[in-house]
Structure 1
Amino acid sequence: MSSTSRAPRRGLAAAAGLAVVVTGLALAPAAPAGAVSTGLVISEVYGGGGNSGATYTNDFIELYNPTGAAISVDGMSVQYRSSSGTGAASGVTALSGSVPAGGHYLVQEAAGAAGTTALPTPDATGTVAMSGTAFTVWLAQGTTALTPTADGTAVRTGIVDLVGVNSNTFETAKTAGTANATSASRTGSDTDNNATDFVVGAPSPESAGSTPTDPGDDEPTEATIAEVQGTGDTSPLVGKEVDTEGVVTAAYPTGGYNGFYLQTPGTPDTPGASDAVFVYGSAATAKVAIGDSVEVIGDVSEYNGTTEITPDAADVTVLDTSLGDVTPLSVPWSDLDTAAEKEAHEGELVAPQGDFTVSDNYDTNYYASFTLASGDHPLVQPTDVADAQDTAAIAAVNADNAARAITLDDGASINFNSAANKSIPLPWLSNDNPVRVGSAVTFHEPLVLEYRNSMWNLQPTSQVTDDGADVATFTNTRTPAPEDVGGDIRLATFNVLNYFPTTGADYEASGLGTCSYYTDRAGNKITVNTCGTDASPGPRGAADDASLERQQAKIVSAINKLGASIVSLEEIENSVKFGKDRDYGVSTLVDALNAAAGSDVWAYAPSPDAADLPSVEEQDVIRTAFIYKPAAVSLVGPSKVLTDAPAFNDAREPLAQGFKAAGAPDSDAFAVIVNHFKSKGSGVDDGTGQGNANPDRVAQAEALSDFASSFSSDLGTDKVFLSGDFNSYTQEDPLQVLYGDGYTNLSSTTDPQETTYSFDGLAGSLDHVLASPAAKAMVTGVDIWNINADESIAFEYSRYNYNATDFYEAGPYRASDHDPEVVGLDLPAIKTATTTTVSAVPPLAIAKLTPVGIVVRVTADGATPTGTVTVSWEGKSKEVRLVRGYAATTVGPFTQPGTQKVTVTYAGNDTLAPSSQSVDVRVIKLF
């Protein structure tokens, strides 16, 4: 230890000693507004008593009297409420007797089945079963159950002191959550801030009969940082005051962490124990800078898995003589493949080695953090790559994900999505630096390896407030268009994220119902939160026309850049639910697409007649649809919706449509059926790891397969594509049903690792195009255009003006939360003849007024003409159908003798040009 003089301990016992021994005056805390000040404070709370892993058999609440005279508690009570409660106390324990000067008062509560050690003899006994991790307790005047307001500033009439342990009710800020082996205990005088007044550590109950601690007998333990950390998950010195020293490697005076990291100089070399520790306290942090050599005296605790020392500012001393430099640990993340190996380097400065890839950027929009995966690809949904029934394979994927995952943070705890922080520019992200899922990471300076919020993090050494380029840079993997997939045309599928031309404002103005909204930082309505009722839901998209225009601009940009001739759509408005034509939503989108394209490029497949649809009550508020380019393809027959299928009572019924190349015969038709299966968010969880409602989706797959067989048979084709949002990952049970029925999932041929969706840091495909064997033979290539799922939600229209940084652009990126899939198709060649000939065989001569037979033949290069021919004579004509290129008919009678012309005209068909020929017929007069 340094020879620098050490300041006295400034904990609770020291404060008591000063009160009693030095001044004799009461150190009464400032009471919250409306509270009754008696001088008493709550000094320790413990809810893990009797739980698994606990030492003590009972929960307890401990009071402390910091004054120089005993204080009566007759008629008072301690009261308890759950961490999420908002009503009156659920447990009240009456008190009696008094709390001695400088002494404690122990209230014993409920016992559990575990624990080995009884509490000291309690001063009061209750039966409240407290939570082991989160709760609120308070000391009250009287024994009537009180109702404190669930915030940190409200008046709490009749309440003397209150502690919120990871609760919704607290003084100024809540203290951290506890565990079965830890309590929250007061560190010093009462400042009405639970977060700073209490520290989590080993419980140490004291009653009125306990011997008060003499501060002079409690000198800090001199220890190295490695000794403070120990070789286990928790410090062996929790609850003790230590004296240690090291070099400041990271400091967070702003942003909410309010602390700094201290590390033993040199290269970390203590086997099994970390050589770094977090020092907590804003006043202490204000005294140091990165690189300083520092001595610290303070209490050891564990906060959400992080070992901490909490000193008073006076107990932090910058040394005059440098202790040396810290050498960052240089090791691949994969080498730290066990929890113990990671724990052995908790808090140390590291220089990350090897490849790292962004796997999740959802939390970037909230806490400016990313989930990274070591290696060259993101973490994956287990059931996207392994059969859900293969438990061993699923376990292997989960283990690989767990081993590769780590979070990159921003050196702060700011929630940028809260109203109070939306004026603070979100770091890291910009339109030029989108930091997408799949982006490769390059680190430019060492970071701290820490365990915070139950996860391992790479923490910058100071708060990131800009693009973070000094810390790390990321590849920009955006592409301007899908990759080339070949083919004559492209088939695509696209979930358009609740595209509703009927806005929330329209819905309310029409008198159909009321809505609630998500708003921007100025309070402007952006998107619908809820509209209507569960029985009669309203729109789900934009709040008003301005927001719809922003949403539509992104969707239109994305679709027009797909290069597709057919697009199946999901999550588009079912306008019949709002008293409009069922196709109003899709026709509005087509109008917007054509306006952007500058001409009538797009059309939509009309809905079936109302008689061929489920009742309006049975239909969902969202639907599927088809749009197409008439210059490239034509519709074959009407669209058809699967009706009377109980499997789809909780999902959108499949929509089928026949297509062919423009100008091709109907015999070249192929079928496309668009789907949107039941989501994973509600319904029964069958325990197979495939989300809720998996049995429902299995039944829907079975019904779809039958529907596809029926529709394709009626269409006269065996070429069938099943497209859409199946809400099933690639290897899950519903898709296994379709694989078993002969369909092939068309995975990306441009990059086999491409997926359409990202959830909770895991990549997988919910959107698919499947093909029958004959349809598969048409496929020339497949690409997933990663414009949505890889993007941060910050770029979505729904987050317009939510932050001081303006992320909105009208381009395709984050037009939805699902990526479109694009499939190239080769179509049958259209047989176009260069010549079409018509020949007729007339009689040598016929009599006047006598009908006579004529034979017609139409020929073409490489094709057999079909359709009709028209035979004309003397201003008369008749139409005759061709059979295998031939037609036979009669002409006449003729009214005039001599040579008469008979003209045979072929009108052509979809593949052959028209042609005409005249022949002479000799008409003679016999009388």
Structure 2
Amino acid sequence: MTATGAAGAFVLTPLPQAFAAPSGGAVIAEAYGGGGNSGATLTRDFIELGNAGGTAVDLSGYSVQYLPGSPSATSRWSVTRITGSIAAGGRYLIAEAQGTGGTTALPTPDASGSIAMSGTSGTVALVAGTDELNCRTAADCATDERIVDLVGFGTAAVRETSPVPGASNTASVARAASLADTDDNSADLTAGTPTPVNTKGETPGTGGGGGEEPGDPGTPGAVRVHDIQGTTRRSPLTGESVTNVPGIVIGVRAGGSRGFWIQDTQADADPRTSEALFVHTGSAVPTVKIGDSVLVSGKVAEYAPSSTTQSITQISGPKTSVLSSGNAVPAPVVLGPANLPDDYTPEAGGGSIEALPLQPALYALDFLEATEGMRVQVGDARVVGATTEYDEVYVTAKPEENPSVRGGTVYLGYDGQNSGRVKIESLGPEIPEANVGDTLSGATTGPLDYDSYGGYTLMATELGSHVSGGLEREVTRPQRDKELAIATYNVENLDALDPQEKFDRLAEGVAVNLAAPDVVALEEIQDDNGATDDGTVSSEQTLTRFTDAIVAAGGPRYSWRYVAPENKADGGEPGGNIRQVFLYNEERLKFTDRAAADASAATEVVATHKGARLSVSPGRIDPASDAWKNSRKPLVGEFTFHGEQVFVIANHFASKGGDAPMHGKFQEPSRSSEEQRHKQAEEVREFVSELLAADPKAKVVVLGDINDFQFSKTTEIMTGGGSLLTPLVNTLPVEERYTYVFEGNSQTLDQTLVSPSVVAYDYDIVHLNAEFADQASDHDPQVVRIDVKKGRK
């Protein structure tokens, strides 16, 4: 990919016409992932940049990044920041992870990182910026203007046109001496003997390199683990080489980020300094075992899973000597109310907390950081977040902390984090399929790791026995004859190509668990061919299959109304064209069809001598507003039940994607996604205000996936400070206020709000998905039953 954005393609997707690039000359000249592997001569992986231009290229603020060749939905780009410049016609060498093999060091690198690249398949990117890329496909990466150049090798899914074949433990992929870039990796680069060159023109054997050799392999060095960990979140020795650091192996990870944890048996007296850390072996599978007494030499590094997370202190490029085996491992730190403070984290005015001295007696995140890498334990731990598809489960080490009515932990405010939540993954024992309220009976023990999803993670070498809590899916009561039942349900990207099992389970949720409401506002109904991106926007086939399945489950024959979105204009899964839909039971109520709305038509409030009506029904609220850019537009409908008019507004606000994690380095974390939801809340509030201005006694129900909490500013804006709409979730006991479970927090994202004239109602969140490992959707539905004859005088 040229920095000037010349015409080219990833596979069949045209490249954008402009990129944020340092100059027209910066390209990836060579990439090698076999360093230190079996058969390799070089001890380290490397990425080499070249400058084909006539002037120097300033690399300040840039990075190189790496993605596995076959990325999954959870694969992350690894990042190495770079500085300095490349002279005209020159080269720039970045050293990456060191393996356990090889005999020849790289020449002195111009920058160093710890990325463990595959020797055979992967993608390397030169990026104008240091934030982690988030694309996972060639098409998505083609639209990211931060990417200056990109090389995919082996069978890499992300590449320019075609990947470079032939990479191996003994072969790099390199551009021709001219550094020509035609945006076809297979044409521009070839495999051959690695030839790393730094800015001085040095090559292996001609200058630099070598590095520090370990001392006597049987004698511990002067540096201990607690010296490396230090008293803040980042090591005071970052970037320095250390020799013969002693410790006992307490855990080994052979897959994913490979390596092992060591813990020093001679602790210091400072509670801020952890006595353990991770040793990252790169692509090499660790050969040590739990109980080995080892000495480790290598470079101290801080690995941050993303630009907003905390980092992990580790030793990279290690050389390890095993002194003895079968040693007792250090006793675990037992996590619980006695040592996990209620206050979650210090604040830094939205800035980074990395440099702040740790205060483990005051803040839970500080305590966990001061225990990073060490053996920890939870006992008889109650599950507060069901087992995920990635074999992770959340438990609480503080069982009395904000318990939900069904065994979870309720999230009730930005200033009230649940500090007892701990994610558990496994280093061996099988993670059971556990639901909220189940228990891992006995001890669950292992090293304390950290990642961008969920934060601090107990990597279990020993797992408690799974004991079921007997959690059952809720079934609400049927509405009475004169009650209008209105429900909302996010059905998680339902489309006509989904398996029948998904339709059947969601249909049972409507027909049985929700007791066949009169109106169901659905979110995330996709077009008829789902993620296939061919311009299809109709959902007729999807809705036919769904309503047929509801009938088969014992429910009524629902009719439906929706406004098809413009192609690719409403966000969600690319190609899916999600939208809100009204299902309604014509045997119980009538839908008022008025005019024929299209995606661009705005529904207006019309004042009449009989009250308010809609100019278009079904319709959308101001779809041209910037508030709805790349987001779902609210669906508005007018219904009549027992002679009473009811307005229903179905919503699916912008997602929380992009917000900084609660456990991250920025405190208070940035919630940048709120800006659009605040605008959306203002649009809905204004529309409801117009309805009530035309008819102060109008019955209005606003509901859907608001993607924000009941205590959020989004909700406050939408309700008009409480004078315009009442959020019904706040009428429930606090232990029942949740529709979704995320990272062990039972929280409210879906809401139902009603206007002042809706005074007689019965509201129920029906818990049938979010707390279960086996889910039909990740959201719980909810229903409100309204006595429409009460409230109008």
TM-score range normalised by the length of the shorter chain: 0.5 to 0.7
Letter of the 2:646 counterpart: A
Query: Could you tell me whether the CA contact under 8 Å between 1:570 and 1:625 is conserved in 2?
Result: yes
Q: Matched residues, percent identical? A: 17
Residue 657 (str. 1) matches residue 639 (str. 2) = yes
Please show how residues 172-211 of structure 1 align to structure 2 within 5 Å. 208=207
Look up the SS of the partner of 1:786 in the other structure.
coil
Residues 586 and 247 of structure 1, relative CA distance in 2, 3 Å threshold: closer
Q: Which residue of 2 aligns with 1:550?
A: 501
Residues 653 and 272 of structure 1, relative CA distance in 2, 3 Å threshold: closer
Residue 330 (str. 1) matches residue 334 (str. 2) = yes
Deviations 1:789-845 (A, max 9, x none): 4445xx4xxxxxxxxxxxxxxxxx42x34321123445769xxxxxxxxxxxxxxxx
Look up the SS of the partner of 1:409 in the other structure.
strand
Out of 755, 762, 783, the position equivalent to 1:772 is 755
Please show how residues 157-236 of structure 1 align to structure 2 within 5 Å. 157=174, 208=207, 221-235=221-235
Look up the SS of the partner of 1:491 in the other structure.
strand
Deviations 1:836-883 (A, max 9, x none): xxxxxxxxxxxxxxxxxxxxxxxxxxxxxxxxxxxxxxxxxxxxxxxx
Letter of the 2:486 counterpart: A
Please show how residues 597-746 of structure 1 align to structure 2 within 5 Å. 597=554, 601-604=556-559, 622-628=579-585, 630=587, 633-635=588-590, 643=616, 647-649=622-624, 650=628, 651-660=633-642, 666=643, 669=644, 671-676=646-651, 678-680=653-655, 690-707=674-691, 710=694, 719-727=699-707, 729-730=709-710, 731-733=712-714, 736-739=717-720, 740-746=722-728
User: Structure 1 length as normaliser, TM-score?
Assistant: 0.49
Q: Which residue of 1 aligns with 2:173?
A: 156
Look up the SS of the partner of 1:550 in the other structure.
helix
Query: Could you tell me whether the CA contact under 8 Å between 1:481 and 1:785 is conserved in 2?
Result: yes
Query: Could you tell me whether the CA contact under 8 Å between 1:655 and 1:673 is conserved in 2?
Result: yes
Letter of the 1:365 counterpart: E
Q: 1:130 offset after TM fit, Å?
A: 9.2
Look up the SS of the partner of 2:330 in the other structure.
coil
Residue 754 (str. 1) matches residue 737 (str. 2) = yes
Q: Which residue of 2 aligns with 1:250?
A: 251
Letter of the 1:491 counterpart: A
Residues 491 and 212 of structure 1, relative CA distance in 2, 3 Å threshold: closer
Residues 688 and 676 of structure 1, relative CA distance in 2, 3 Å threshold: same
Q: 1:371 offset after TM fit, Å?
A: 8.2
> Partners of 1:581 and 1:257 in 2: how far apart?
43
Q: Which residue of 2 aligns with 1:348?
A: 374
Q: Which residue of 1 aligns with 2:322?
A: 316
Residues 656 and 681 of structure 1, relative CA distance in 2, 3 Å threshold: farther
Deviations 1:154-180 (A, max 9, x none): 3624689x9xxxxx99xxxxxxxxxxx
Deviations 1:4-23 (A, max 9, x none): xxxxxxxxxxxxxxxxxxxx
Q: Which residue of 2 aligns with 1:823?
A: 784
Deviates more, 1:723-732 or 1:647-656: 723-732
Give the number of equivalent residue pairs.
570
> Partners of 1:233 and 1:616 in 2: how far apart?
47
Residue 494 (str. 1) matches residue 488 (str. 2) = yes
Look up the SS of the partner of 2:293 in the other structure.
strand
Deviations 1:307-349 (A, max 9, x none): 44568777112158x5x56222234252344355433322222
Q: Which residue of 1 aligns with 2:769?
A: 788
Residues 697 and 44 of structure 1, relative CA distance in 2, 3 Å threshold: same
Deviations 1:191-249 (A, max 9, x none): 9899xxxxxxxxxxx99599997887998624554445444444555634433544433
Look up the SS of the partner of 1:775 in the other structure.
coil
Residue 568 (str. 1) matches residue 520 (str. 2) = yes
Residues 706 and 360 of structure 1, relative CA distance in 2, 3 Å threshold: farther
Deviations 1:540-562 (A, max 9, x none): x23x3xx3523321221111111
Q: Which residue of 2 aligns with 1:834?
A: none
Query: Could you tell me whether the CA contact under 8 Å between 2:220 and 2:244 is conserved in 1?
Result: yes
> Partners of 1:102 and 1:826 in 2: how far apart?
81
RMSD over aligned Cα atoms: 6.0
Higher relative contact order (CA 8 A, sep 6+): 2
> Partners of 2:746 and 2:451 in 1: how far apart?
24
> Partners of 2:649 and 2:194 in 1: how far apart?
60
User: Structure 2 length as normaliser, TM-score?
Assistant: 0.56
> Partners of 2:479 and 2:266 in 1: how far apart?
55
Residues 825 and 697 of structure 1, relative CA distance in 2, 3 Å threshold: closer
Which structure has the larger Rg? 1
Query: Could you tell me whether the CA contact under 8 Å between 1:683 and 1:692 is conserved in 2?
Result: no
Query: Could you tell me whether the CA contact under 8 Å between 2:479 and 2:485 is conserved in 1?
Result: no
> Partners of 1:279 and 1:32 in 2: how far apart?
19
Unaligned runs of 5+ in 2: 1-30, 35-39, 51-55, 68-84, 92-102, 112-125, 134-147, 157-165, 180-184, 187-191, 197-204, 304-310, 342-359, 405-409, 529-533, 571-576, 595-612, 661-669
Q: Which residue of 1 aligns with 2:431?
A: 428
Deviations 1:732-780 (A, max 9, x none): 346544455543222263664332245677654343332334422x22x
> Partners of 2:284 and 2:42 in 1: how far apart?
25
Q: Which residue of 1 aligns with 2:119?
A: none
Residue 411 (str. 1) matches residue 398 (str. 2) = no
Look up the SS of the partner of 2:300 in the other structure.
strand
Query: Could you tell me whether the CA contact under 8 Å between 1:106 and 1:207 is conserved in 2?
Result: no
Q: 1:481 offset after TM fit, Å?
A: 1.6
Q: Which residue of 2 aligns with 1:901?
A: none
Q: 1:655 offset after TM fit, Å?
A: 0.6
Letter of the 1:771 counterpart: V
Query: Could you tell me whether the CA contact under 8 Å between 1:490 and 1:825 is conserved in 2?
Result: yes
> Partners of 1:764 and 1:351 in 2: how far apart?
26
Query: Could you tell me whether the CA contact under 8 Å between 1:485 and 1:823 is conserved in 2?
Result: no
Look up the SS of the partner of 2:255 in the other structure.
coil
Residues 641 and 675 of structure 1, relative CA distance in 2, 3 Å threshold: farther
Look up the SS of the partner of 1:560 in the other structure.
helix
Please show how residues 456-475 of structure 1 align to structure 2 within 5 Å. 456-462=455-461, 469-470=464-465, 475=469
**Structure with the higher helix share, 1 or 2:** 1
Out of 510, 515, 518, the position equivalent to 1:559 is 510
